[in-house]
């Protein structure tokens, strides 16, 4: 039996302290507290730092803040800095607007297996429910089955079964590559595998597909995927979509790398050494 991994949760954030607070407090409420939190900050202002300082003062787990100057969308760099600051050998990436369920760490620990990454799942919240969750500090994980079904019926969440059912680690392995459900807002990768492919590629400009690029290169390096649905769901708070002016060129590059077998990032973890 493989040894249980030491886990680092890397949370990316940018100038949304109310959402970040909801995410981090959900991390505080985990039923498995054997992990650390790294907040990978892509250049937020003092409001976010003040929020993090307050959270840190009452955190039941180690909590670290890694900040970089605001020079545009640089989530890849923020995640790499978070990875480098992490003490764990297993990195779980989530975004600062994705609220984990209470067994999130427990479920990711159960699914962790050498040679695999875990692509997690998310439940999308409506603008109205997002506003209520943040303003009233509603804990949706405490909601009963009837309330969850009502949220789904009214269109406030886009799925409900995943919040009510847990599937065991059976039939989750993917031997072939799939573009489905590649989201760095909920993605778990062994740190050694990240080092093998040089982490996220910081040469990507603007929003889009740096997460797909990572998974493609990990696949090219021999790392398989496990599906995290019905185990690792996070509640994704609504937000306006980012500008996608570089999306097409980024996607083209990822497709090329899928064909030519590229493994290492052009500019990644090693360039911070």
Least confident of 67-76, 86-95, 181-190, 227-236: 181-190
Neighbouring-strand partners of residue 253: none
| Superfamily holding 7-122+173-272 | Spore Coat Polysaccharide Biosynthesis Protein SpsA; Chain A (3.90.550.10)
In the predicted model, what is the mean pLDDT of the chain? Answer: 92
The tokens for 157 are: 């969440």
pLDDT by residue (tens digit) across 241-263? 655 555 678 888 899 999 999 99
Nearest to 82 by CA among 70, 91, 73, 71: 91
- Residue 1 has what pLDDT? 46
Q: What is the pLDDT of residues 22-60, one digit of tens each?
A: 999 999 999 999 999 999 999 999 999 999 999 999 999
Edge-first strand listing for the sheet containing 90-95: 63-67, 35-41, 7-13, 90-95, 186-190, 116-119, 224-227, 173-174
d(CA 172, CA 165): 15
């Amino acid at each position: 039996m493989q040894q249980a991994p030491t886990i680092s949760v890397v949370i990316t954030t940018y100038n949304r302290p109310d959402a970040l607070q909801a995410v981090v407090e959900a991390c505080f409420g985990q039923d498995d507290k054997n992990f650390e939190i790294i907040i990978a900050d892509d250049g937020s202002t003092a409001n976010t730092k003040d929020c993090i300082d307050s959270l840190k003062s009452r955190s039941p787990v180690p909590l670290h803040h890694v900040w970089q100057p605001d020079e545009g969308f640089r989530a890849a760099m923020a995640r790499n800095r978070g990875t480098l600051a992490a003490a764990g050998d297993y990195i779980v990436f989530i975004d600062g607007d994705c609220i984990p369920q209470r067994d999130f760490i427990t479920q990711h620990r159960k699914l962790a297996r050498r040679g695999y990454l875990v692509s997690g799942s998310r439940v999308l919240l409506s603008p109205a429910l997002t506003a209520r969750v943040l303003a009233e500090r509603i804990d949706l994980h405490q909601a009963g089955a009837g309330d969850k079904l009502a949220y789904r019926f009214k269109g406030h969440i886009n799925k409900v079964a995943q919040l009510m059912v847990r599937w065991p680690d059976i039939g989750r392995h993917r031997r072939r590559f799939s573009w489905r459900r590649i989201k760095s807002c909920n993605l778990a990768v062994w740190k050694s595998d990240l080092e093998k492919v040089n982490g996220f590629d910081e040469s990507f400009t603007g929003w889009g597909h740096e997460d797909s690029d990572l998974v493609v290169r990990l696949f090219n390096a021999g790392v398989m995927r496990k599906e995290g649905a019905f185990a690792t769901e996070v509640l994704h708070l609504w937000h306006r979509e980012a500008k996608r002016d570089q999306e097409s060129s980024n996607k083209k590059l990822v497709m090329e790398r899928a064909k030519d077998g590229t493994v290492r990032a052009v500019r990644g973890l090693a360039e911070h050494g």
